[in-house]
Amino acid sequence: MSLRWALLGASTIARQRMVSAIRAVGGTIVAVQSGDLDRASAFAADFALPLAVTDIRHALSGADAVYISSTNDRHCTQALTALAAGCHVLCEKPVATSIEDARAMVAAAETARRVLAVNHHLRHNGVNRAIREQMRAGAVGQVRAIIVSNGGWLPEELRRWRLSGEGSGIALDKTVHDVDLLRFLLGTEPIAVNASTSGPPDQPAQAIMGVLEFDGGVLAQFYDDFNAPHGQTRIEVIGDRGRLIAEDCLSGRPAGTLGISDANGTRPLPVDHENPYAEVIRDLHRAIAAGTPPAASGRDGAIALSAALSAIRSARTSGRLAIESIA
């Protein structure tokens, strides 16, 4: 399948990750849209794209699918416009900035009979897939807890909109990824959260740590940070017969290591690495062709958003909160 793509947002992630991912899977990019025509034109020139515009409908006119990587507050409006125009949608996380908007996007995709996917690429990291395979095979016995450490350094050029305006802050940037990955690994739903945040008082939170309770009794600790330049992303799965330890597994790179520690000692496990962003596009193609949900659907994005918003509210109220269910 070859899809014609429009890019809504001349973003850094589109530039660094998604243009090559789309092309690697056989897609053609027919337009790039930005509120800043100079920015769109420069992007189009760099990647030899035929059309750079500010008008969304103009960008959609020749497209089968759109990739939305605009600022978070624009995701819902742009997705609804694209779905109404008959396009399939791959939206950056968070899927929206409110549960109501996320629900509207899911409903619009169902009405339009188009695929709405969210770019939760961590599901496609080879290490994370290997973790899930080991868990399902019972390698560590009954899982008791999972610890996710997702601290790193946010470059200065990426801080502007992530630290100001609607939908900014660490939880809607990284915690949504943590939640989606934990659901992918466990196959169960988060039901409650207790979290704390830190950062300058006049800005959205730049670090968050908390505990998610999952249906079935598993506890998951998460730590996300914009200001940990020497942070090493890490996942630890603790079972009653052993533990899995993964490192460097929460970036967009096809990277990371996985090991297991049990009664037989500690040893590395094999991992098949693939470009996670290309796998996101490939998965979307499969979903469109087969009429089946993508790996991370709009509903999946809404569940991750609900948990992250609950974490924010928990930090403000200093207490455990139930996570609103997505019907």
Query: Is the model's pLDDT at 327 over the cut of 80?
Result: no
> Which of 164-168, 215-219, 265-269 bottoms out in mean pLDDT, i.e. has the lowest?
164-168
Average pLDDT over residues 72-90: 98
CB 91 within 8 A of CB 117: yes
Helical pair 176-186 and 126-136, crossing angle rounded to 10 deg: 40
- Provide the sign of the torsion angle of the four alpha carbons 93, 97, 98, 102, taken in this order: negative
Residue 266 clears pLDDT 90, i.e. is over it: yes
Identify the pLDDT of residue 57: 97
pLDDT at position 165:
80
Confidence band, pLDDT 50/70/90 cuts, at residue 232: confident
- Residue 12 in this model has a pLDDT that exceeds 90: yes
Mean pLDDT of 271-296: 97
Residue 303 near residue 326 (C-beta atoms within 8 A): yes
Residues 217-234 have a mean pLDDT of 95
3-state secondary structure of 285: helix
Residue ranges and CATH numbers for the domains of the chain are 4-121+278-297 (3.40.50.720), 123-273+306-322 (3.30.360.10)
Confidence at residue 167, expressed as pLDDT on a 0 to 100 scale: 86
pLDDT of residue 284 exceeding 90, the answer is yes
pLDDT band (50, 70, 90) for residue 199:
very high
Q: Per-residue pLDDT tens for 133-168?
A: 999 999 999 999 999 999 999 888 778 778 888 889
Average pLDDT over residues 71-84: 97
Q: What local confidence, expressed as pLDDT, does residue 162 receive?
A: 82
Structure tokens at 297: 């659907």
Question: What was the pLDDT predicted at 156?
Answer: 82
Number of DSSP helices (H) and strands (E) in the chain, helices first? 11, 15
